[in-house]
Amino acid sequence: MEEIEKRMQGKLNRRKEQNALRQLYLPNVSASKAEDKTRWIDFCSNDYLGFSKNEQIKKAVEQQVKEADLGSTGSRLISGNSWKAEKLEERVAAFHLAEAALLFNSGYNANLGVLSSVPTRLDTIIYDQLSHASIREGIQLSMAKSFSFRHNDVEHLKQKLDKASGNIFVVVESIYSMDGDEAPLQEIIEVITEYPAVLIVDEAHGTGVIGTNGVGLVQEQGLEKEVWARIVTFGKAIGGHGAMVLGNPTLKSYLINFSRSFIYTTALPAHSLAVIDAAYDILESSDAVEQLKHKICLFKEHLSSSAKKRFINSRSAIQSLLVGGNTESKQLASRLQESGFDVKAILHPTVPKGEERLRICLHSYNSSHEIIALADCINKVLENG
């Protein structure tokens, strides 16, 4: 016991020395003066459309779950399946122009479930080097041969394809969670058609943000028939929890039979299903996505020319300001927080060393005044050094 504790403390001490120790903070509350309950303006959450706070969604959910059980009581293969879950899968599949959809408890579980069960040790997985941890861990569990390619570098992807064997799975994110930029899907598809390869796209940060009514990058570009599988998640712009894998009926049936993160987990309860269903109602009928696009443009318009050069090019809700260095990034975040803006520093090892940054998330509910004030504050802080 003592040896285990000593080893753990040693690793924690090294994180402290690197100024990279992770801690839990109350959302939108000053970390240094939490007792004051100093509220910050939210520029860090993934609640891009404000659906987690949406009163219309709350009322719709209350109506749907009045008589529902609190829990689902088991996995979907035992007692946790319901007509509501199956109807929701049909609805989301239709919205995203997919043949079939399968509900998972989170985007993490969905990525893990697909990549750990479909590729075999005879196959090859090629993934963008900035892919999410859930993608990387699914790849590790698959036992397939794997290669990463430089971020959004299609020529480098082609080099890796030439080394691949067996069935080839190429995995990218539509919108990258730490950079906010997008995958060159059309170029990737043109390259992989020369190989026995299929494309898997994680739409976690594209769903509800990109395209008409937030259909995602794949549909915006009319590529749904060219993409073998998509993962749409509900814990970000949709404001709830869970995810679905979109694909064909064969993939759905296979995952039900072989995906361990689907088979061996308790199903989502009725409340979670109702949130997703009500959120899609609002997604289809409101102008929240257009409001968000306007706020993104407004923010970028009010950045100074020198500040713009520090940002990664992005039309998504994620705007990343490159700083470099854990200490420098935390100091810059602290200066913005002192002005009332809840902006978080993203540190190494979450991002590559030297690419530490501030990850600014814009929302449809951020007022024009708040967005302009944030841009002005960034301009001032960067100008003054």
Both 344 and 227 in one domain: the answer is: no
> How many domains does the chain contain in total?
2
User: Is residue 8 one of the residues assigned to a domain?
Assistant: no
* % of the chain beyond a pLDDT of 90: 91
202 is catalytic: yes
- State mean pLDDT over 321-339: 95
Q: What is the pLDDT of residue 30?
A: 53
Within this chain, do residues 269 and 323 fall inside the same structural domain, yes or no? no
Out of 10-19, 150-159, 182-191, pick the least confident. Answer: 10-19
* Active-site position among 96, 145, 160, 236: 236
Residue whose C-alpha is closest to residue 45's, from 350, 358, 339, 344: 344
The answer to whether residue 14 is domain-embedded is no
Active-site entry in 96, 132, 241, 252: 132
236 is catalytic: yes
Distance CA 249, CA 247 (A): 7
75 annotated active-site: no
* Tokens matching residue 75: 């996995």
Q: With a cut of 60, say whether residue 35 has pLDDT above it.
A: no
Task: Please tell me which residue in 128, 179, 202, 342 is annotated as part of the active site.
Answer: 202
Phi, psi of 314 (to 5 degrees): -155, 140
177 noted as active-site residue: yes
Mean pLDDT in residue range 121-145: 97
Among residues 285, 302, 317, the one where a domain terminates is: 285
pLDDT level of residue 29 (50, 70, 90 thresholds): low
Give the span between the Cα atoms of 373 and 339, in whole angstroms.
Answer: 10
Cα separation, 60 vs 55, whole angstroms: 9
Q: Which domain holds residue 343?
A: 21-48+287-384
pLDDT for 140 equals: 96
**60 and 29 in a common domain:** no
In whole numbers, what is the pLDDT of the chain averaged over residues? 95
List Cβ neighbours of 143 (8 Å cut-off, separation of 6 or more).
120, 121
| Residue 173 is a catalytic residue | yes
46 is an active site residue: yes
- Do 188 and 229 share a domain, yes or no? yes
Identify whether 359 is part of a domain.
yes
Residue 253 to residue 181: CA distance in whole angstroms: 33
Same domain, 186 and 206: yes
Can the peptide bond before residue 349 be classed as cis, meaning omega within 30 degrees of 0?
A: yes
Helices (H), 96-153: 107-117, 133-142
Say which residues have a Cβ less than 8 Å from residue 382's Cβ, sequence separation at least 6. Answer: 304, 306, 307, 310
For residue 16, being part of any structural domain is answered with no
Active-site position among 46, 52, 109, 261:
46
CA distance 96 to 230: 10
Asked if the structure places residue 4 within a domain, the reply is no
Tell me what the mean pLDDT of segment 28-35 comes to. Answer: 53
Q: Is residue 130 within 8 Å of 149, Cβ to Cβ?
A: no
pLDDT surpassing 50 at residue 34: no
Asked whether the predicted pLDDT for residue 176 surpasses 70, the reply is yes
Whether residues 281 and 294 share a domain: the answer is no
Mean pLDDT value of segment 273-283: 97
**110: pLDDT confidence band, cut at 50, 70 and 90?**
very high
| Residue 274: strand, helix, or coil | helix
Same domain, 261 and 356: no
Say whether both 180 and 127 belong to one domain: yes
Do residues 160 and 66 both lie within one domain? yes
Vertex 356 angle, CA 14 and 309, to 5°: 165
- Residue 291 in domain: yes
CATH of the domain at 351: 3.90.1150.10
Domain end call among 285, 311, 328: 285
Among residues 173, 181, 342, 355, which one is catalytic? Answer: 173
Residue 2 binned pLDDT confidence (cut-offs 50, 70, 90): confident
Shared domain for 220 and 330, answered yes or no, is no
Domain boundary among 239, 259, 285: 285
How does residue 28 score in pLDDT terms, banded at 50, 70 and 90?
low
- The pLDDT value given to residue 108: 98
Q: Which of 96, 205, 344, 363 is catalytic?
A: 205
**Residue 28 among the catalytic residues:** no
- Mean pLDDT over 133-157 rounds to 97
Q: Is the pLDDT of residue 385 over 90?
A: no
- What is the number of residues in the chain? 385
Read off the pLDDT of each residue in 63-87 and give the average, rounded to a whole number. 93
Which is catalytic among the residues 106, 116, 177, 329? Answer: 177
Lowest model confidence (mean pLDDT) among 27-31, 168-172, 234-238, 300-304: 27-31
